[in-house]
Structure 1
Amino acid sequence: MSKSFKDLNLIASILEALDNEGYIEPTPIQQEAIPYILSGRDILACAQTGTGKTAAFAIPILQILQNKNQGMVKKPRALILSPTRELVVQIGECFSAYGKYTKCTHTVIYGGVSQKAQVASLNRGVDILIATPGRLKDLLDQGYINLSNIEFLVLDEADRMLDMGFIHDIRFLSSKIPVNKQSVFFTATLNREIKQLADTLLNNPVKVQIAAESSASESIQQLLYFIDKEKKMDLLFELLNGPLISDALIFSKTKHQADRLADKLNRAGIKSNAMHGDKSQGSRQRALENFKAGKIRTLVVTDVAARGIDIESLSHVINYDIPNEPETYVHRIGRTGRAGASGSAISFCCADEINFLKRIHKLIDKSIPIAEGYPIASKGEITSGLKKYISKR
């Protein structure tokens, strides 16, 4: 395994940019993927969030394009597809940072905003397109984009894109790209649908799997509170008013509840914003920027909105509701403890969520520790069956 980025045969301009970012040692996914991409191989990579996936594909793409850069009128040569607007913006920020001293240019393409600025950027010419599938297809249909020069295709969060119904857009877009492109898939889970898509779009790929798809980072401290549903808000106030939580990403089951929680937190003096699919793009971006800048202390999100959130140092993730899909739990808590940093994930569980909790325990192959010093709710909602389940643990 390489011990530094210098061992990966990167060019001086990229090494200087990485040094500016404070990057010294590549993460395991970067150590595995960068050499394969530089050598021209297709890759199917399975890695959890927070493992450094964006740099794993951005760095080698920037290097290859920089080495080929001849100062011609620029046409897109690399296409990165990602499921959410927030993630597209953050990938763009990474390309800006890592490519700071190269001549490579990029633009971000996503819906929910006017296309005017995006079209103007395309008309100026770019090397790299970073896009959500829907808006990209719209601009392609309008004749603003030509994908005939694409040399690299990256599907980031491929599993999430399939979950969100982008499979037909992905197949359509791939049909407009040269067959002899180099393709890279990054996914948090490796299910049957992903394998089928990979079989059709990848050419003899190298499979890179850094962590088991069911695992959560060992750097994340997990904690569980059994609580009556109507007491969850009181517990949330108690924890946020304590000394341990500096900031928190709070997961809500529904958009309505996310708005309601953010409103109650603000009225209690805890600055908060809600972020979900019904919010405008501008509102979502402002909420995320406010949270990153420390202007608000909590951000209440739904799962769709949160998948693209990338925050380098997040103190806590709070599952106000237990997700009904166990893989979602792993994705949620992966928002903290990123790239080896420490973090904490707190989950509230009421009686009607106990089956969801059991499925999470089965997936991660261990039980989440129960918080000590806090009484288990005693109302009728907490059934004898739940008490029996707790006693067995």
Structure 2
Amino acid sequence: MAKGTEAQAVQKVNARDLKRSQDKEDLETLEKNASQPENYSTAKYFTDLPLSAKTQKGLSQCNFKQMTEIQRKGIPLALAKRDVLGAAKTGSGKTLTFLIPLLEILYRQSWNAADGLGALVISPTRELAVQIFEVLKKIGKAHTFSAGLIIGGKEFKVEQERIARMNILVCTPGRLLQHMDQSVGFSCDNLQVLVLDEADRCMDMGFQNTMNAIIDNLPRQRQTLLFSATQTRSVKDLARLSLKDPEYVAVHEKAEHSTPKTLSQHYVVAELPKKLDVLYSFVKSHLKNKTIVFLSSCKQTRFVFESFCKLQPGVPIMHLHGKQKQTKRVDIFRKFTSSQHAVLLCTDIAARGLDFPAVDWVLQLDCPEDADTYIHRVGRTARFAADGHALMILNPSEVEGMLEELKKKRVPIEEIKIRTSKQQSIQKQLQSFCFQDPEIKYLAQRAFVAYMRSIYLQRNKKVFDVTALPAEEFALSLGLAGAPKIKFVKKAEKKIMGAQEKKEASDESEEEEEEVAAPVKEQKTKIDRMFGRKNQDILSEHYSKLVDFEGDKIKLDGGADDEDDDDFLTLQRADHALESEEEDDMNEVEGENISKRKLKMSKKERAKNMPRGDKTIFDDEGVAHAMYELVDEKDFLKDGDAKSQIKAFIDEKGELMQTADKEDKETVKQKKLAKKIKRKERERAALKEGESGSSSEEEGSGDEGSAMSEDEEEPERKRKWFEDESSDEDSNKKRVIDVAAPETLEDQEALALKLLGA
């Protein structure tokens, strides 16, 4: 039996060693084949690539067989550990292009939990991060790596406990940087692969500083993969920072159009107050379709969602925007993905990378920010060679500028007309909703302001002109009784009016200059404009010193200069002061020229605006100098260079400090000695006083000479701050009573009576 068990153990050891050697040979073969990407340039199927059996198993279970164009060009380069900067149309399969190499690189290095973080995938939105993580779980099911999803909206402490054990992380930039700063044990020192999905949006969405901080925390010896549907300058800047000799893979750069061929694209011109009517009519006529509707703000999305739910068009209505909680966003994302017929109202949060299956229509109720945003929005349909339709609703003021932008990006789009017979108006229903439900009215007001602000803040003023919008009619179309007051619209109108007035004024001034020989001086400099404003009393004193008023005066004898003979009326400065001027002079004497604004100011606010005093010192001649004055370099170097002067200064001040320290110690020592002597004298005086008191009781009253000597020897005690003269008298009455120790009760009573008498 013993021999049999030994033989089985030997067989197991041999089988284990044989398997290890076989695995090692397989890894070496994969490494060798992957280092030659040019051999796989004609590969069409995933099985043609040098992938491990575990990855092949995950791909086959998900029915991923034939590669797309971006996958054929990008995966072999990424498997060879080269940096890749990839650009391809939306829906072309970019996610697998970086997930497959990520798994393979870690597998070929036999990565395990002890090695820490090996791969990092960063996406701009939480929904896209969730989608990437779901795909990673499916194709990496056979691998033994630990993977984590790090996004905002979840418990931070739970993530902190697990993040240090992860081999692969899919995350958003803000949450990742928070863990880098706060999570103990989280390290990126062994990172092998960094992936940025939708990299241009990562930079555009306000993550630029965050991304730069993240990249600074990552090791430079790593592989970097950047993917996006549209290449912008920010991506190229990022590529220069983090990529080393990148392979640029632009699949559809030379294509005729920037959007898929299977996508039909149209636009409709509609007045702003009619937009919701067009949307409702479209939804009612496409009840059996799956539609995504893009709006420009969260407030609009919420208002349209609540209103359409009350209208009950006959199809499920959902909404997705950035103000929702993370759990709700994920639930809506999954619900819409699994729905067959539904309408999703959303902001641009759903415009990037999200793969909603079988979307029939992408409707853009509000004009996109630019052509790139348009391309990403319409990319939610017609994915993977499927058919799709896109419709954009434009205001009349947006048509010309937007079509020009789309033409530059090679986007084919055609205009269509709406049949008036099929168009329905919902304005009366919205008015009744706002009248009956205060919450709907509040949402309508916020939606109105949010839309107007989004138009006002857009950069491209050729497309977006907030002053060209009919605000009152738009408010009525939302169900409101009138348009809410908006400050920024008035500012925009004032800017336009000011520009027109300036233009007219400049034209008039040019005409006057032609007629009149002496030109009129205009306020051109910034300082002149500043002094031209009201309530500039702070700088009035300084300004009056700078301005020469002598030129304003004319002769007081009534005779004018020869140059002013033609003037009909002439203003002159009189010597007398009016009552108002006298009051101003009084205010100036008191310290300030008071304005209405200053009268309302508190003492603290006035103190803040008061000029700060400068500390000065006087030399032997009485001349004032600043506390610290700069010396010329030549004068400074006369005493030696800076280091030698610093050393001499430290030595000099050090000696002074040492001598001062010795003097202080000596004075403290003398004070302690004086205190000790005084205490000894007080103790001696108290002993002598006790002896003299006992002798006077035995012999009677003592002679006056001895009493005088005792008084002279006794030091005078200073009264404390809480004592008065009566306390001194009480202290003088106190005497020392010397008696024998009491033995009986009678002796104790006698001692008590004697003490009470004393």
Q: TM-score, normalised by structure 1?
A: 0.90
Residues 372, 210 of structure 1: alpha-carbon distance in 2 compared, 3 angstrom cutoff: same
1:240 and 2:283 aligned: yes
Residues 295, 345 of structure 1: alpha-carbon distance in 2 compared, 3 angstrom cutoff: closer
Offset from partner CA, 1:10-36 (integer Å, 9 cap, x none)? 222222221222222111111111100
Higher strand share: 1
| TM-superposed deviation, 1:193 | 2.2
Find the counterpart in structure 2 of residue 290 from structure 1: 335
Residues 369, 118 of structure 1: alpha-carbon distance in 2 compared, 3 angstrom cutoff: same
Q: TM-score, normalised by structure 2?
A: 0.48
Find the counterpart in structure 2 of residue 95 from structure 1: 136
Residues 119, 366 of structure 1: alpha-carbon distance in 2 compared, 3 angstrom cutoff: closer
Counterpart-to-counterpart distance in 2, 1:176 and 1:364: 36
Find the counterpart in structure 2 of residue 253 from structure 1: 296
Letter of the 2:404 partner, please give it: R
Is the CA contact 2:361–2:389 (under 8 Å) kept in the aligned structure 1? yes
Find the counterpart in structure 2 of residue 29 from structure 1: 70
Offset from partner CA, 1:341-373 (integer Å, 9 cap, x none)? 221111112213213432343234355222356
Letter of the 2:174 partner, please give it: G
Find the counterpart in structure 2 of residue 349 from structure 1: 394
Please identify, of 205-214 and 247-256, the stretch whose mean Cα deviation from structure 2 is larger.
205-214
| Secondary structure of 1:340's aligned partner | coil
Find the counterpart in structure 2 of residue 224 from structure 1: 267
Please identify, of 111-120 and 82-91, the stretch whose mean Cα deviation from structure 2 is larger.
111-120
Find the counterpart in structure 1 of residue 182 from structure 2: 142
Q: How does 1:136-175 map to 2 (within 5 A)?
A: 136-144=176-184, 145-175=186-216
Larger Rg, first or second structure (1 or 2): 2
| TM-superposed deviation, 1:91 | 0.8
| TM-superposed deviation, 1:139 | 0.9
| TM-superposed deviation, 1:243 | 4.6
Letter of the 1:266 partner, please give it: C
Find the counterpart in structure 1 of residue 374 from structure 2: 329
Find the counterpart in structure 2 of residue 118 from structure 1: 159
Is the CA contact 1:322–1:356 (under 8 Å) kept in the aligned structure 2? no
Number of residues of Structure 1 aligned to a counterpart in Structure 2 = 379
Find the counterpart in structure 2 of residue 86 from structure 1: 127
Residues 206, 354 of structure 1: alpha-carbon distance in 2 compared, 3 angstrom cutoff: same
| TM-superposed deviation, 1:92 | 0.6
Bigger relative contact order, structure 1 or 2, given CA contacts below 8 A and separation 6+?
Answer: 1
Letter of the 1:4 partner, please give it: Y
Counterpart-to-counterpart distance in 2, 1:60 and 1:312: 25
1:273 and 2:318 aligned: yes
Find the counterpart in structure 1 of residue 305 from structure 2: 262
Residues 245, 230 of structure 1: alpha-carbon distance in 2 compared, 3 angstrom cutoff: farther
Offset from partner CA, 1:35-66 (integer Å, 9 cap, x none)? 00111111111122211111000011112212
Residues 48, 118 of structure 1: alpha-carbon distance in 2 compared, 3 angstrom cutoff: farther
Is the CA contact 1:42–1:206 (under 8 Å) kept in the aligned structure 2? yes
Is the CA contact 2:88–2:94 (under 8 Å) kept in the aligned structure 1? yes
Find the counterpart in structure 1 of residue 227 from structure 2: 186
Unpaired segments ≥5 residues, structure 1: 383-393
Letter of the 1:130 partner, please give it: V
Is the CA contact 1:84–1:308 (under 8 Å) kept in the aligned structure 2? no
Counterpart-to-counterpart distance in 1, 2:386 and 2:84: 26
Residues 212, 77 of structure 1: alpha-carbon distance in 2 compared, 3 angstrom cutoff: same
Is the CA contact 1:245–1:316 (under 8 Å) kept in the aligned structure 2? no
Counterpart-to-counterpart distance in 2, 1:68 and 1:104: 12
Counterpart-to-counterpart distance in 2, 1:381 and 1:182: 50
Is the CA contact 1:216–1:364 (under 8 Å) kept in the aligned structure 2? no
Counterpart-to-counterpart distance in 2, 1:222 and 1:167: 33
Residues 82, 315 of structure 1: alpha-carbon distance in 2 compared, 3 angstrom cutoff: same
Counterpart-to-counterpart distance in 1, 2:411 and 2:98: 32
Residues 197, 341 of structure 1: alpha-carbon distance in 2 compared, 3 angstrom cutoff: same
Counterpart-to-counterpart distance in 1, 2:413 and 2:63: 34
| Secondary structure of 1:317's aligned partner | strand
Q: 1:338 aligns with which of 383, 388, 397?
A: 383
| TM-superposed deviation, 1:313 | 2.3
Is the CA contact 2:258–2:411 (under 8 Å) kept in the aligned structure 1? no
Q: What RMSD in Å do the two structures reach over aligned CA positions?
A: 2.4
Letter of the 1:229 partner, please give it: L
Is the CA contact 1:273–1:296 (under 8 Å) kept in the aligned structure 2? no
Unpaired segments ≥5 residues, structure 2: 1-41, 424-467, 471-758
Find the counterpart in structure 2 of residue 130 from structure 1: 170
Counterpart-to-counterpart distance in 1, 2:83 and 2:278: 48
Please identify, of 143-152 and 50-59, the stretch whose mean Cα deviation from structure 2 is larger.
143-152
Is the CA contact 1:47–1:53 (under 8 Å) kept in the aligned structure 2? yes
| TM-superposed deviation, 1:228 | 2.4
Q: 1:303 aligns with which of 342, 348, 362?
A: 348
Please identify, of 203-212 and 263-272, the stretch whose mean Cα deviation from structure 2 is larger.
263-272
Find the counterpart in structure 1 of residue 61 from structure 2: 20
Q: 1:209 aligns with which of 239, 245, 250?
A: 250
| Secondary structure of 1:265's aligned partner | helix
Letter of the 1:263 partner, please give it: E
| Secondary structure of 1:44's aligned partner | strand
Please identify, of 77-86 and 304-313, the stretch whose mean Cα deviation from structure 2 is larger.
304-313
Letter of the 2:175 partner, please give it: R
Counterpart-to-counterpart distance in 2, 1:257 and 1:287: 18
| TM-superposed deviation, 1:74 | 4.8
Counterpart-to-counterpart distance in 2, 1:59 and 1:265: 43
Find the counterpart in structure 1 of residue 79 from structure 2: 38
Counterpart-to-counterpart distance in 1, 2:412 and 2:189: 51
Is the CA contact 1:262–1:299 (under 8 Å) kept in the aligned structure 2? no
Counterpart-to-counterpart distance in 2, 1:335 and 1:279: 21
Offset from partner CA, 1:228-259 (integer Å, 9 cap, x none)? 22222222222222257511111001211111
Find the counterpart in structure 2 of residue 318 from structure 1: 363
Offset from partner CA, 1:264-306 (integer Å, 9 cap, x none)? 2222323222211222212222221221121871111111343
| TM-superposed deviation, 1:192 | 2.2
| TM-superposed deviation, 1:324 | 3.1
Higher helix share: 2
| Secondary structure of 2:380's aligned partner | coil
Residues 46, 308 of structure 1: alpha-carbon distance in 2 compared, 3 angstrom cutoff: closer
Is the CA contact 1:92–1:108 (under 8 Å) kept in the aligned structure 2? yes
Is the CA contact 1:327–1:360 (under 8 Å) kept in the aligned structure 2? no
Q: 2:413 aligns with which of 362, 368, 386?
A: 368
Residues 43, 113 of structure 1: alpha-carbon distance in 2 compared, 3 angstrom cutoff: same
| Secondary structure of 2:142's aligned partner | coil
Is the CA contact 2:113–2:146 (under 8 Å) kept in the aligned structure 1? no
Offset from partner CA, 1:126-153 (integer Å, 9 cap, x none)? 2111111111111111134211110011
Is the CA contact 1:133–1:166 (under 8 Å) kept in the aligned structure 2? yes
| Secondary structure of 2:206's aligned partner | coil
| TM-superposed deviation, 1:212 | 3.1
| Secondary structure of 2:416's aligned partner | coil
Letter of the 1:250 partner, please give it: V
| TM-superposed deviation, 1:182 | 0.6
Residues 143, 296 of structure 1: alpha-carbon distance in 2 compared, 3 angstrom cutoff: same
Residues 70, 86 of structure 1: alpha-carbon distance in 2 compared, 3 angstrom cutoff: closer
